[in-house]
């Protein structure tokens, strides 16, 4: 500590109001109850002794300042700080120091009082932190309980595992509350695990059943692979494909193998069938040309609008020749048949129209209505000859009404 000059010592000795040093070395500090002896000074002058005990007071004051500064720190332990302040204050009554000890005591009382408030704040913050921690774990439990009924097996399973890590990171929950919440979480996790296990057990069972079905499909397809009964076998192969799709997936290790075997059997059959049909289609090329020529030949002969009977006769002749020609290649079959149907429809439509006309001509009701129209027309001519405007208007209206009725009747018969 820095030395005090003789002049400074003299000034303090002369002006110090908190204590004194007698000529015989006795040292006193002033207090509300009078002077209190605090020691003896024999190592130098009274002024040096006074300075020595003032420095002791300054050391005490420094301790008070440190306590006051610690009070400002948010991380300070309020209880420990209060204990330190009380200990220091208790020591003031016997402190061997000269200075305003009462003021130091008041400052320490203020520290103690503020530590009480700080302790209350710390307790409130701790309680809030605990409440927040409980709420956080309750939220995790609620989420786990929602996931307990989820069928998103992977995503939900991953989340339940990550909840455990989130749980561990939350501190400050009392043991009883934590145990109760953990029990709820474990029950939710176990319920999810049980449901997931049951689901995959059922899935494994279904896949085993699908495997058995597909093994039967493959076996049948392999038996049919060398068949030359093209039509029925092709139909059955298509049915087996539908059965395959409806069977669902087999076990992971067998699905690809079974599919490869099934496709091989199908490819064997349909490859052989295509080769035979392609060869047959090549032999039908002449038949295609013959039918195309037949269509060209009769396109001018069959004219039902000109002569329906001749058109019908030509159509029968064409149909006989068509059947005698025989099969055509598969890709030509549909367009040729459609062209033939068009010719047949033209004759049939003309025949239907002629029948309707014949029916209309022989219908007694229509004959009678036509006669009435003719009579109405003659009546109009007479009225026009008379020059009577009223009679002309009545006759005109009568004719138009009968013509309308006849038109509607003819349409009805024609349809």
Tens of pLDDT along 276-293?
877 777 777 888 888 888
pLDDT at site 142 = 94
pLDDT at site 415 = 60
**What percent of the chain is modeled with pLDDT above 70?**
93
Name the least confident of 29-33, 110-114, 354-358: 354-358
**What percent of the chain is modeled with pLDDT above 90?**
28
Average pLDDT over all residues of the chain? 84
Rounded to an integer, the average pLDDT of 324-353 is: 83
Q: What is the pLDDT of residues 233-261, one digit of tens each?
A: 999 989 989 998 898 888 878 888 989 99
Report helix, strand or coil for 41: coil
Which contacts (CB < 8 Å, 24+ apart) does range 34-43 have? 38/95, 38/96, 38/97, 38/98, 39/96
**C-alpha to C-alpha distance for 225 and 270, rounded to whole angstroms:** 8
Q: What is the pLDDT of residues 360-391, one digit of tens each?
A: 666 777 778 878 878 887 887 787 777 777 88
Q: Comparing 408 with 60, which gets the higher pLDDT?
A: 60
Structure tokens at 278: 């392609």
Burial of 176 (0-12, 13-18, 19+ CB in 10 A): exposed
pLDDT at site 9 = 40
pLDDT at site 359 = 62
Q: What is the pLDDT of residues 57-115, one digit of tens each?
A: 999 999 999 998 988 887 788 888 889 989 999 999 889 999 999 999 999 999 998 88
CA-to-CA separations, 337 to 111, 283, 340, in angstroms, rounded: 112, 19, 5
Q: What is the pLDDT of residues 159-200, one digit of tens each?
A: 999 999 999 999 988 899 999 999 998 999 999 999 999 988
Residues in the chain, total: 415
Could you give the strand order of the β-sheet that contains 36-40, starting from the edge strand earlier in sequence?
Answer: 19-21, 26-29, 36-40
Most distant pair of Cα atoms in the chain: their distance: 176
Cβ neighbours, 10 Å, residue 188: 22
Element (H, E) at 19: strand 19-21
**C-alpha to C-alpha distance for 98 and 109, rounded to whole angstroms:** 20
Q: Comparing 65 with 307, which gets the higher pLDDT?
A: 65
Beta-bridge mates of residue 40: 26
Question: Does 1 score more than 60 pLDDT?
Answer: no
pTM as predicted: 0.43
Q: What is the pLDDT of residues 312-331, one digit of tens each?
A: 888 888 888 888 888 888 78
Question: Does 5 score more than 50 pLDDT?
Answer: no
Q: What angle in degrees, to the nearest 10, is found between the helix axes of 6-15 and 46-72?
A: 80
Question: Does 4 score more than 80 pLDDT?
Answer: no
């Amino acid at each position: 500590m820095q030395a005090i000059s003789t002049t400074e010592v003299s000034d303090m000795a002369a002006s110090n109001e908190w204590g004194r040093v007698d000529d015989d070395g006795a040292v006193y500090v002033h207090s509300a109850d009078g002077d209190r002896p605090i020691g003896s000074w024999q190592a130098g002058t009274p002024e040096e002794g006074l300075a020595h005990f003032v420095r002791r007071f300054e050391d005490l004051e420094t301790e008070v300042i440190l306590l006051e500064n610690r009070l400002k720190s948010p991380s300070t332990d309020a209880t420990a700080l209060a204990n330190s302040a009380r200990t220091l204050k208790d020591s003031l009554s016997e402190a061997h120091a000269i200075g305003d000890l009462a003021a130091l005591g008041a400052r320490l009382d203020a520290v103690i009082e503020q530590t009480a408030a700080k302790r209350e704040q710390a307790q409130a913050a701790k309680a809030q932190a605990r409440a927040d921690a409980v709420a956080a774990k309750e939220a995790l439990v609620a989420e786990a309980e929602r996931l307990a009924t989820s069928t998103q097996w992977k995503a939900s399973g991953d989340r339940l595992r990550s909840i455990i890590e989130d749980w561990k990171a939350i501190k400050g929950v009392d043991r009883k509350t934590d145990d109760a919440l953990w029990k709820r979480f474990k029950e939710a996790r176990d319920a999810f695990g049980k449901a997931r296990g049951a689901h995959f057990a059922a899935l494994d069972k279904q896949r085993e059943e699908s495997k058995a079905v597909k093994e039967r499909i493959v076996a049948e397809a392999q038996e049919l692979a060398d068949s030359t009964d093209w039509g029925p076998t092709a139909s059955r192969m298509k049915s087996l494909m539908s059965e395959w799709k409806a069977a669902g997936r087999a076990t992971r290790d067998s699905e690809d193998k079974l599919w490869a075997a099934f496709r091989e059997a199908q490819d064997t059959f349909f490859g052989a069938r295509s080769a035979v049909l392609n060869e047959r289609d090549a032999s039908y090329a002449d038949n295609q040309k013959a039918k195309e020529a037949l269509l060209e030949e009769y396109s001018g002969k069959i004219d039902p609008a000109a002569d329906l009977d001749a058109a019908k006769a030509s159509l029968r002749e064409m149909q006989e020749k068509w059947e005698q020609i025989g099969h055509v290649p598969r890709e030509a079959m549909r367009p040729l048949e459609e062209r033939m149907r068009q010719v047949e429809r033209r004759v049939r439509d003309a025949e239907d129209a002629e029948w309707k006309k014949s029916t209309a001509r022989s219908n007694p009701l229509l004959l009678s209505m036509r006669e009435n129209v003719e009579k109405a027309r003659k009546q109009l001519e007479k009225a026009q000859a008379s020059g009577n405007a009223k009679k002309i208007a009545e006759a005109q209206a009568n004719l138009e009404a009968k013509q309308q009725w006849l038109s509607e009747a003819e349409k009805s018969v024609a349809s």
